[in-house]
Amino acid sequence: MEWYAAGGLMLAMVLGLMALGFPVAFAFLSANVVGVVLFMGGSVGIDQLVANGASSILSFLLVAVP
């Protein structure tokens, strides 16, 4: 899949979910999960998404971001 098709798919998914009334965080999370499954392949991609999320939450340097 070309980069512009993938970008369009993710943007359309986020905007579509927000138009349906989903909160922004859940719209982005859903788009990320679909992107990971499409581009990284199934459960391996989901495992990597969870590992990256957990490591970024546990990083002390990112505490002041929110």
Which are the contacts of 30, defined by CB distance < 8 A and separation ≥ 6?
A: 13, 17, 22
pTM > 0.85: yes or no? no
Which of 7 and 64 is assigned the larger pLDDT?
7
pLDDT at residue 63 in the model: 65
Percentage of the chain exceeding pLDDT 90: 32
Which residues span the domain enclosing 36?
A: 3-62
List, for residues 12-41, the tens digit of each pLDDT value.
999 999 999 999 989 998 998 888 888 887
- Number of domains making up the chain: 1
| Angstrom distance (rounded) from CA 44 to CA 56 | 18
Task: Identify whether the C-beta of residue 27 lies closer than 8 Å to the C-beta of residue 17.
Answer: yes
Which are the contacts of 48, defined by CB distance < 8 A and separation ≥ 6?
A: 36, 40
